A = this chain, B = another copy of it.
């Protein structure tokens, strides 16, 4: 007999499912197909590196439990990691896997028809990483009487307001982030191989801290140096060693049971050039002032406008968004794709939201990053990670 390994109480999962069904109901969706692995985990606990094949949940307003569907050889994973009962676990035969002769969505469409849901309004995650154009086409062809609606962010919006037990997970991730960042700042010196730092940081993220383990984060450590810091998403160089004169960016999010705590800092090796010092001073001052401004009821675009006001007249510019909601996630992104701190985003900040304030600056030949993840509280916001806000320097 397999023994279940749930991360939260069943009641916590039921609460989430009720909130998702309420949102479906408001939006006129009777059935919802969820294929994002973070959303599957959020609602059922399901956790496995099996999302490279088609899998998902089928949620209906009038059925208590979601159905889990996945590859038959992964169905024991559902028995182990979810609260679902046996009749809700559907393992499909292996010939559906990455086949050019059939498609998994035909299996899903058959199941939906079998349940008598084939004339309903069905929500699908139209713009999710895991819902391909072909999946959509197969569903519409095999469920010709159903109506489909875009539910890309339906679960993500529910998920964006965290419960206390979720905040606890994020605080645990934050302890791992502090440890990993501290290790990186200490290790980076001229002559040290970049890959050794990347290896040590990854190991620290997975090993966790005293008492609990971490996990692989949704974004691999972004640790570029030198000219590679002039752009946003390069990681370490597999052969290079750090040199005097390097800027090194560190965007490190650690995870605890897939709940993240992202953080960015910058190290300079040598005597800091005046232009970098100026950028660092402006960004850190603006970051601090903006965090004081943030409170529930403020909109995302107001936060960005306030930040932009802090930069006015300094000569520093930041043309891209300065933050986003984060939380429970799998590769390739710990962002939740809901709130973005940028012009035009009218999302209202609510207590329980967790947002990464990330004013990364990428100039022609180098960059600077100093960020803070925060929790929106009843009266303002609270930083989740405790790490000095400054440019770190090593004058060799």
Residue numbers of A with Cβ under 8 A of B are 2-3, 5, 47-52, 71-77, 79-81, 94-95, 97-101, 103, 124, 126-137, 150, 152-153, 193-196, 198-200, 202-208, 212-216, 219-220, 222, 227-228, 230-239, 256-257, 319-321, 324, 331-333, 335, 337, 340, 342-344, 360, 362, 365
Complex: how many Å from CA A5 to CA B233?
A: 15
A208: chain B residues within 8 A (beta carbon): 195, 238
A103: chain B residues within 8 A (beta carbon): 127
Contact of B203 with A340 in the complex, beta carbons under 8 Å: no
Given A130-B129, A200-B203, A342-B94: A74 in contact with B233 (beta carbons within 8 A) = yes
Contact of B198 with A206 in the complex, beta carbons under 8 Å: yes
A320: chain B residues within 8 A (beta carbon): 71-73, 94, 97
Complex: how many Å from CA A152 to CA B133?
A: 10
Contact of B216 with A202 in the complex, beta carbons under 8 Å: yes
Contact of B47 with A362 in the complex, beta carbons under 8 Å: no
Complex: how many Å from CA A129 to CA B36?
A: 11
Complex: how many Å from CA A132 to CA B74?
A: 24
Given A134-B126, A207-B199: A231 in contact with B342 (beta carbons within 8 A) = no
Task: For A133, give the chain B residue with the smallest CB separation.
Answer: B136
Given A94-B342, A199-B206: A134 in contact with B129 (beta carbons within 8 A) = no
Task: For A231, give the chain B residue with the smallest CB separation.
Answer: B76
Complex: how many Å from CA A199 to CA B95?
A: 34
Which of A81, A133, A324 is packed against the most chain B CB atoms within 10 Å? Answer: A133
Distance to closest chain B CB from A93 (angstroms): 8
Contact of B128 with A132 in the complex, beta carbons under 8 Å: yes
Contact of B238 with A212 in the complex, beta carbons under 8 Å: yes
Known: A48-B234, A72-B320. 4 other contacts (CB 8 A): A94-B321, A199-B202, A199-B207, A238-B256
Complex: how many Å from CA A237 to CA B257?
A: 10
Contact of B52 with A333 in the complex, beta carbons under 8 Å: yes
A340: chain B residues within 8 A (beta carbon): 97-99
A237: chain B residues within 8 A (beta carbon): 5, 213
Task: For A329, give the chain B residue with the smallest CB separation.
Answer: B52
